[in-house]
Amino acid sequence: MAIQDIFQSVIGFDEAKVKELTQKEVDGGAAIDTILNEGLISAMDEVGAKFSAGDLFVPEMLMAAQAMKGGLEILKPLLADGATESKGTIVIGTVKGDLHDIGKNLVSMMMEGAGFEVVDLGVDVDSDKFVQAVKENNAGVVALSALLTTTMPAMEATVKAIREAGITVKTIVGGAPVTQAFAEQINADGYSDDAPSAVELARKLMAA
Containing 7, the helix (H) or strand (E) segment is helix 2-11
Q: What is the pLDDT of residue 83?
A: 52
pLDDT digits (tens, 9 = 90+) for 45-81: 999 899 889 999 889 988 999 999 999 889 888 876 6
- Positive or negative torsion for Cα 133, 154, 100, 181: negative
Q: What is the pLDDT of residue 48?
A: 87
Beta pairing class for 190-191 and 141-145: unpaired
pLDDT digits (tens, 9 = 90+) for 26-49: 999 998 888 988 999 899 999 989
Q: Break the chain into its structural domains and give their ranges.
A: 2-79, 89-207
Count of beta carbons in the 10 Å neighbourhood of residue 193: 13
Among 123, 3, 108, which residue's Cα sits nearest to residue 65?
108
Q: Which residues contact 82 (CB under 8 A, 6 or more apart)?
A: none
Give the amino acid at 55: D
CA distance to 2, 91, 143, 181, per residue, from 108 (Å): 27, 9, 9, 24
Count of beta carbons in the 10 Å neighbourhood of residue 69: 18
pLDDT band at 208 (very low <50, low <70, confident <90, very high): confident
The C-alpha torsion from 59 through 111 and 197 to 153, rounded to 10°, is 90
pLDDT digits (tens, 9 = 90+) for 87-135: 899 999 999 999 998 889 889 988 988 889 999 999 999 999 999 999 9
pLDDT digits (tens, 9 = 90+) for 146-189: 999 999 999 999 999 999 999 999 999 999 899 999 999 999 99
Domain 2-79 CATH (choose: 3.20.20.140, 3.30.360.10, 1.10.275.10, 1.10.1240.10): 1.10.1240.10
Q: Which residues contact 94 (CB under 8 A, 6 or more apart)?
A: 100, 101, 104, 122, 123, 124, 125, 144, 145, 146, 147
Q: Which residues contact 125 (CB under 8 A, 6 or more apart)?
A: 93, 94, 95, 96
Domain 89-207 CATH (choose: 3.40.50.1370, 1.10.357.10, 3.40.50.280, 3.90.1150.10): 3.40.50.280
